[in-house]
Structure 1
Amino acid sequence: MSAPHDPLTAHRRLKAGSLVDARAPIGVDGFFQPRRAAFWLFVFFLVNGVFSMVSNFYVGYRVVPTAVVLATLVWALYALPFLLFFRSLDLFEQHPPLGFAMAFAWGGFAACYLAIPVNSAVESLSAKLFGPEFTKDWGPALAGPINEEILKLLGIVVLVMIARTQFRTILSVVVLGAMIGLGFQIVEDLLYSVNTAIQFPYTDQVVPVGLMFLVRGVFSGIWSHALYTSVAAFGIGYFITRRHKPLVQRTAVAVGAFALAWFLHFFWNSPWLQNIGGGGVGGVLVLSLLKGIPVLAVGYLLWRFAGHEEGSQLRTVADYYIDDDLMTAEERDSLTSLRERRHLRKHMRQAHGRKAARTLHRLQRAQLHMIRVCEENGAGVPAARAAQDITALRTDLAAATA
């Protein structure tokens, strides 16, 4: 039985033969938790990371100021399509903005700050044990996956410990994992650009930035850290959301997901297949596709599984809390599928124009937002405000399709 529109007067509802307090908030932890040790652990590593990265960039700025400014602009703009892609998937309803900012900051500053000396130590140990030639070929494949994946995964664990009840589905963990990986990827690419400009044999400070953008942005950016970390995060998400499963099974999935992320990173950094495709830009492109497409395929399958599970959760909450005049049965079916939502917008654009399609998109997001509000707070005042937004957008959509 759906909740009445006025949650302030509707105190109870009938559900499965029992009375349930419809106004009682389910409760969701925020990401600002100064009373938890994990929060201060996060702050400690973040402050150290910011100080270390800013110091590195300041030293670089004194040597190649144009390259530092240009690289910062280039990689900041490069991050925007990824953020817009996440928004197009309606993933930003998963967590408040502070959660995404903290995830990006951990990857970009804390994980990078910790990875630099550890990577150097692993490569130095490899050179002593196996020789410099071996380390030249296999050093990145050893140091990067081992150190960087562990440090990024540590960020996921810390965020989960800070805001424990934020993570109710696998996708909610995968999204923050991708954001941690994106932060690491952007700051690492920025460091590579600055260091390349410092070591460049000519005085030109623009060309090295362009070369790094081509190699690390165009050829390898899609199948990079954001994807690796989201794969590892899948295991953490399974572990904390499948509490009804045996501990051994949950642990095996978590370890397996991390091992898969490690192998994907190792496969990319390794010298395998390096002679395929020949030299030049064409050869680099062929090698990137041969190594990158399998990585992308694995990530797609895991994201799709997490998305299906997320859809089931959304439908359950919508059926429990939301009336049919706010969300019809057809809309409930379509909201659980990104493909169906896009299909409806495409049909709306063909039938009534772009304005109507944009209004439908806003309505879909408002409905998703209301589901999140109900999931986190029950049928309280925030849900009533979300219902008002949906009603207003329905009026706008009716006018756009008149």
Structure 2
Amino acid sequence: MSWFQPRSALFWVYCLAVLGGPLLFTVQAFGMVWFGGSAALAALPITALTMLVFGRILFDLDRFRVRRLLVAPLVMGFVWGASVWPGLSLWANDHVTHVVTNLGGDQFAMSWQAAIAAPIDEEFIKAIGIAVVAVLFRARLSRPMHGLLIGGMVGLGAQIAEDCLYSVQTALAAPQDPVGDVLVVAALRLVTAFTSHWAMSALAGVGIVVALVRTDRSFSWRLGMFALFYLMAVTMHFIFDAPRPPGPGWVMMFAPIIVDLVIFGLGYAWVLRTEREWFRATISHPIARTIGTEAGLANLLTNRLRRKARAALRHSTRMSRGQARHYERQLIDRIVDLPLGAGVHRVAGSAADPELASHWQH
């Protein structure tokens, strides 16, 4: 399925949103970018590093390399987060914070407007993007990991856009040494980004994709899973932006991150369990015998088993460490590429040797 889907009205809605998002952002923030943009450029290397680091972390969570089959939806998800989200979130935050101020007063709004507004509108805007991409590529999606990856990429795009916006705002607020302050803020954004937009939206993506593709389960079950994972994402965002209680500065900076990591870890543990169940079912299928024995391929299930299998493979074949890792990836890719619905085996372009696969056990 190509990314270009001219017969789909939803595809053209996506395109219009991607074009309109930057225009909406420019209308709201042109002056800010005009006066603070030059100093904010100093943060670009750190922002690029942030994108690379957390993109790598997200892909490392994909233990069975399903991302190879989702290149187009992942790119389109990132583009939504980086282009549509900034303009819409600026507009929505402005309106929601006005409501919070009117209801709670200025003093309450100063402390709580970010923790109330951002989880409501920012997560909703990202969720729209996840849902649009998921519907466009519904035929490719079947597992919670697919939702985690698409949601994570939408969130990563939003995170990078927000980092750039923070750099501009910091440059405007620090006329004495804007470049120094911009670099400090960018570094702090990098250090504290372990539970930022990418992780929040990854959980929301799980709920959205499960609700969309698990038609074998009841509507109430799908709705409940969506509500659970979306609520986890909103809770992470609320904790991330909530006012810090009194205490040591470094403790108050990292305590919310630790709590959010626990929430994310619980959601990811369930996703990883479903991935392992899928993998066990796949290697038990008769066509998997063309790759290796079920007992041997089961050593790909966990990191500990993979390390032991690589050591055994290196001992028996004198492969280098890098060669053993490359062969492991070949095995995983061939299993992911198995055409279970077709009834025949299709050899992947970079085929592994079935005889070597017999060594993938000890």
TM-score, structure 1 normalization:
0.79
Cα pair distance change 1:42/1:338, threshold 3 Å: farther
Contact in 2 for aligned 1:103/1:179 (Cα 8 Å):
yes
Look up the match of 2:35: 63
User: 1:299-341, CA deviations, whole angstroms, 9 ceiling, x for partnerless residues?
Assistant: 1121121112112223323332645352233442122334432
1:85 aligns with 2:50: no
Look up the match of 2:291: 326
CA RMSD of aligned residues (A): 3.0
Look up the match of 1:150: 124
User: 1:79-134, CA deviations, whole angstroms, 9 ceiling, x for partnerless residues?
Assistant: 11122223434465333322211111111211222111100111122223322211
Structure 2 regions of 5+ residues with no counterpart? Answer: none
Q: Could you tell me how far apart the structure 2 residues matched to 1:183 and 1:230 are?
A: 12
User: 1:187-209, CA deviations, whole angstroms, 9 ceiling, x for partnerless residues?
Assistant: 1011011111022131x232122
Cα pair distance change 1:152/1:62, threshold 3 Å: closer
Q: Kindly, what percent of the aligned residue pairs are identical?
A: 25
Look up the match of 1:275: 246
- Map 1:220-299 → 2, pairs under 5 A: 220-271=192-243, 273-277=244-248, 283=249, 285-299=250-264
Report SS of the residue matched to 1:222: helix
1:120 aligns with 2:91: no
AA partner of residue 276 (structure 1): G
Match of 2:351 among 371, 374, 389: 389
Q: Could you tell me how far apart the structure 2 residues matched to 1:376 and 1:76 are?
A: 39
Contact in 2 for aligned 1:153/1:232 (Cα 8 Å):
yes
Contact in 2 for aligned 1:242/1:250 (Cα 8 Å):
yes
Contact in 1 for aligned 2:80/2:129 (Cα 8 Å):
yes
Q: Could you tell me how far apart the structure 2 residues matched to 1:342 and 1:51 are?
A: 50
Look up the match of 1:373: 337
Look up the match of 1:4: none
Contact in 2 for aligned 1:362/1:393 (Cα 8 Å):
no
AA partner of residue 374 (structure 1): L
Deviates more, 1:166-175 or 1:317-326: 317-326
Contact in 2 for aligned 1:50/1:109 (Cα 8 Å):
yes
The alpha-carbon deviation at position 222 of structure 1 amounts to 0.4
Cα pair distance change 1:256/1:96, threshold 3 Å: closer
Look up the match of 1:356: 320
The alpha-carbon deviation at position 58 of structure 1 amounts to 7.1
Q: Could you tell me how far apart the structure 1 residues matched to 2:180 and 2:5 are?
A: 45
Structure 1 regions of 5+ residues with no counterpart? Answer: 1-28, 278-282
Contact in 1 for aligned 2:138/2:213 (Cα 8 Å):
no
Look up the match of 1:300: 265
Cα pair distance change 1:77/1:54, threshold 3 Å: farther
TM-score, structure 2 normalization:
0.87
Q: Could you tell me how far apart the structure 2 residues matched to 1:368 and 1:162 are?
A: 26
Structure of higher RCO (CA pairs closer than 8 Å, 6+ residues apart): 1
User: 1:230-284, CA deviations, whole angstroms, 9 ceiling, x for partnerless residues?
Assistant: 222222233234322221122122112212221221122111x43122xxxxx1x
1:316 aligns with 2:281: yes
The structure having more radius of gyration, on CA atoms, is 1
Report SS of the residue matched to 1:390: coil
Match of 2:158 among 161, 176, 184: 184
Report SS of the residue matched to 2:247: coil
The alpha-carbon deviation at position 358 of structure 1 amounts to 1.5
